[in-house]
Structure 1
Amino acid sequence: MGSEDSGLYRCKAEAATPRITKMSRVSRVLVQRIPVSDVNLEIQPPGGQLIEGENLVLICSVAAGTGNITFSWHKEGTSLGRKTQRSLLAELRVPAVQKRDTGRYYCAADNNHVPILSKRITVTVRIPVSHPVLTFRTPRAQAVVGDVVGLHCEALGGSPPILYQFYHEDVILGNILAPSGGGASFNLSLTAEHSGNYSCAANNGLGAQRSEVVALSITDPKLLPLKLKYISWLSGNSRRRIVLMTTGVTGGLLLILVFAATWLYRIKSQKKPGFAVKIVAT
C-alpha cells in the first residue's frame, strides 16, 4: 500500500439466480507514509582518503520510510545529483576523482515530508608525487674543494607532506621533510671525494619517485698548482707578448701546444736570426 491508495472502498455481492445484487457500506481507507529517518552517508573506499584517479561511491540510506524516497547528494552546498526510487538506499558514483573533488559531502532524503540531512564526511583526494628535479647551487661555475654547494630537490606535483632524500652514488646523504609541499635543500661542504653522481627521491606515502642523475665535478687547487702566466717571443727587431691566464690541466695542455708551435716556428724561421721564446710559469 502506498499513500496513493488512500480513498473510499466498498464491495459488491451478486447472486447468480435470481439476480440479486447487494453493495456494502463505503469504508474510508487512509494510507499514511512513514517519514524517512536516520539518514546516513557512507563512502567507498572507506576512510575518506582517495588517490587521484580512483572512483568515489556515495551511498545514502535511511533507517525507515515508505513510498518513493528522493535521495540527493551534495558537496559543500553544490548539488551532485538526485534519484527517486522505492528503496531505502541509493548510491551515486563519482568517477576518476581529482584534487578539486576534495571537500565535505552529505546527502538528503525525503518522501514528501521535510528533507532529512545526513552528517558530513570529509573526502581528501591525494596526488602521488611527480619525478623530482635535482639542481645544484654553487658559488662559482667550477666548484672547488671547500665550497658550500646547495642541493635542491623539488617535485612539482604531489600532495604534502613530502619526504626528500639526497643521494651521492646511491649513498644517502640526508632526509628532509617538507610538511607543506614544495622543494627541499641540502647543503654540502665539498671535499675531493664529493665528485661524482648525485640524485634525489621524493615520497608522500603513495610511492617514491627518483630524479635523474646529475654529475658534479670538483677541482682541488692543491693538486693542480701550475699557472702559465705569459709567453713572449722576439723576432728580429720586434717583440710581442701574449698573456695567458689558466690553471690546472688546461695550463699543462696549453704549455704543450706552445712548445709545439714554437718548434714549428723555429723550423720555418731558421734563416731569420734573433728569434727567442720566453715562457714564464709558476
Structure 2
Amino acid sequence: MPGSASPCVAFTQLWLTLLVVTPVNGQHVSLVLRAPPPVFEGDSVVLRCDTKRSIAAETLTFYKNNRALELPHPSSELHIRHANLKDNGQYKCSRKSTWAWGSVISSNTVEVQVQELFPHPVLMARPSQPIDGSPVTLTCRTQLSAQRSDAQIQFCFFRNYQALGSGCNSSSEFHIPAIWTEDSMWYRCKAETKNSQVEKQSRAFKIPVQRALADFQTSIIPASKLMFEGQLLLLNCSIKGVPGPLTFSWYKRDVLNKETKIPKSSEAEFKISKVNISDAGEYYCEANNSRRSFVSRAIPITIKVPVSQPVLNLSTGKTQALEGDLMTLHCQSQRGSPYILYEFYYENVSLGNSSTLSGEGASFNFSMSTERSGNYYCTADNGLGAQRSEAIWISVFDMTKNRTVPVATGITVGLLIMAVGVFLFYCWFSRKSGGKPTSDDSRSPSYSEPQEPTYYNVPACIELQPVYSNDPKENVIYTEVRGTQPRRKHAVQESESPRSRCQMAEKN
C-alpha cells in the first residue's frame, strides 16, 4: 500500500502475530489483528482480532490511532463500510488480562491506507466561450486507478443545481444543442460508482456565452442597384456565425419608412420577375433560428421609369388674354420616376424650369404682354430622355389701343347726325320766311354801319373734313371726322346768302 515501507513490511505488519505470554492455566495466549490487502474508496474493510484460543468478544476492544472505538455490539471483527480517506489510520485490538488486575494484552498495529478510486472530476466546455445559439459539449474528466480499472463509473451534469438531461449515465460528455446568453450560469458535474458508494463532484464552472454577431452576405442581380422598369430582380441572403436551422423572411421599407413583410419569402432567395415603380425601396432579410432574429443591412433598390409625354394646361383654360393678365402654365407627366425636371418655353425660348419629387407636376407664372403672343410648350426630363408637350397658341390683346375704334366712330356718327339736323332745320326756316335771304336791305337795320349777319354761327355751314388713319398692325381702318370753322368776314365782303352757302356745301 502507498505510504508503507515496502510490500514485505506491509505483509509483515498485516500478518504479524503479537504474542503476549500470559499464564492462563499454565498456557500462553496471543492476539493477532488481521487486515485485507490494499483498500480503495468504497471498499468494505474487515479487521479481525484472532487468538489461538477462543476469547469472549465482550473482552475485546478496537483502537484507531490509540483511541478506543465504540462498536454497535461486541464482536471480534471491526467492519468499515464504504471506506474513504477519513478511515485512514493505525488500528489494533486488545483485551484485559484475567490474572493480573489492570493488565492489558494488545495485538499488533495495522495501518489502513485507503486509496482514491478516482480523483475529483474536472468539468470542461467545448468551446469554452460559445457564441449565442451555438452548440456546446460538456466533459466531466476523471481517471480510475490502474488497479481498479474495471470499476464502472457514471456521470451526471448540473446547471445551477438543476440536473441536465434524463439523469446520470456512463458517458462522460453531455451535449447542449444550443446555448444562449441567458444560459450563462454555473455548471458542474458528478462522477459516481454505479452502486453510489463513491461519488465526487467537480468545482462549479461558469460558461460565458457571447452574443452572436451575424455575418450576412447579400447579393443582387443585376449588380447595379439602379434598375429600369421591366427588369428581373433577384436578391439572395446568406448568414455565417449563427447556428441553424434558419428561416428567412424578406422585408421592404418604402420612402416613408413603412416596413412591409413580403409574403412567400421564407427562402434565402427573393425574386421579382418584372419590377415596376412600386417596387422601389429598401430590402433586407431576417434570419431566425427559433430563439433569435438577425437582420441584415438594407439594400436600396431604385426603379427608373422614363417620363411620359407631359400635358400643358392653362390656369384660365382660355387661350386668349389681355395685356397685363397673370397667366399660370402647368406641366405634368403621368408617369416617370423622380426627380422630374420641368422646363417651360415660349417660341423655343426657355422661360424657366422647376424640379419636383412628387407626381403633381410643376407650374410657371408670368404676366402677359402683346409681345408674348405665340406658341407655348413644356418639357419633362428625369435623365432617361426628355419628352415635349403639345404646343398651345396664346393670343394677347391691348385694350388701350382697341378703345379708339368705338370712340372715333361714335364721334363721327354724332357729328353727321347733328349736321343733317341743322341743315334740315335751316331749310325749313328759310321756306317759312318767304324765301328771302336774311341779308335783304328791307330787313336790315337802319344804321349805316354794316354788321355781321345773324346766321354766322349756324352749325350747318361748318365744313366737315374726314381724316383717314390706318394701323399697319391691324386690319381695321379708323376714320376720324374733324370740323373746321372759317374765319369771320365783314358783312359787306360776305354777300352770299345762307342758302347759297348751304347749296355750296351740298354740292361739295
CA contact (8 A) 2:250 2:261 kept: no
Distance 1:113 1:189 in 2: 69
Please name the residue that 2:374 is paired with: 196
TM-score by length of structure 2 reads 0.33
Greater gyration radius: 2
Distance 1:105 1:160 in 2: 19
Over residues 95-152 of structure 1, what are the superposed CA-to-partner deviations in whole Å (9 max), with x where a residue is unaligned?
A: 1112332333223568999775433323333433222111223497731222222222
User: Structure 1 residue 44: deviation in Å?
Assistant: 2.9
Taking only the aligned residue pairs, the percentage that are identical comes to 41
Q: CA deviation at 1:187?
A: 1.8
Partner residue of 1:42 out of 219, 223, 236: 219
Does 2:234 correspond to 1:57?
yes
Q: 2:330, 2:377 → 1: CA distance?
A: 10
Of 168-177 and 104-113, more deviation after overlay is shown by 104-113
Point out where structure 2 has 5 or more consecutive residues left out of the alignment: 1-176, 178-213, 253-259, 415-472, 480-508
Give the drift of 1:197.
Answer: 0.8
SS of the residue corresponding to residue 226 of structure 1 reads helix
Contact 2:232 2:272 in 1 (8 A): yes
Paired positions, count? 203
Q: Please, which runs of 5 or more residues in structure 1 have no aligned partner? A: 1-32, 84-89, 233-247, 256-282
Q: Name the CA shift for 1:204/1:117 in 2 (closer, same or farther; >3 Å).
A: same
Question: Structure 2 CA distance, aligned partners of 1:103 and 1:201?
Answer: 27
In the alignment, what sits opposite 1:81?
265
Deviations 1:46-72 (A, max 9, x none): 453333322211122345799998765
Q: Which amino acid aligns with 1:124?
A: T
SS in 1 for 2:335: coil
Whole-Å Cα distance in 2 between the matches of residues 156 and 117 of structure 1? 37
What is the CA deviation profile of residues 209-243 of structure 1, one whole-angstrom value per residue up to 9, with x for unaligned ones?
211111111223355442366999xxxxxxxxxxx
- Aligned equivalents of 1:140, 1:61: Cα separation in 2: 62
**Amino acid in structure 2 at the alignment position of 1:77:** K
Residue pair 1:133, 1:153 contacting (<8 A) in 2 also: yes
Give the number of the structure with larger relative contact order, counting CA–CA contacts within 8 Å between residues 6 or more apart.
Answer: 1
If each structure's helix is expressed as a fraction of its own residues, which one has the higher value? Answer: 2
**Root-mean-square deviation (Å):** 4.2
C-alpha change, 1:139 and 1:58, in structure 2 (3 Å) is closer
**2:351 partner amino acid:** L
Preserved contact between residue 74 and residue 80 of structure 1 (Cα < 8 Å): no
The equivalent residue for 2:385 is: 207
Q: State the match for 2:405 in structure 1.
A: 226
* CA-to-aligned-CA distance 1:13-61 (integer Å, 9 cap, x gap): xxxxxxxxxxxxxxxxxxxx9xxx6232222334533333222111223
- Under a length normalisation based on structure 1, what TM-score does the superposition of the two structures give? 0.55
Opposite residue 307 of structure 2, the aligned amino acid is V
- Cα separation, 2, equivalents of 1:152 and 1:207: 20
Match of 1:144 in 2: 322
The 8 Å contact of residues 310 and 379 in structure 2, kept in 1 or not, is answered as yes
For the Cα contact (< 8 Å) 1:138–1:147, is it kept in 2?
Answer: no
Which residue is equivalent to 1:269? none
- In the alignment, what sits opposite 2:166? none
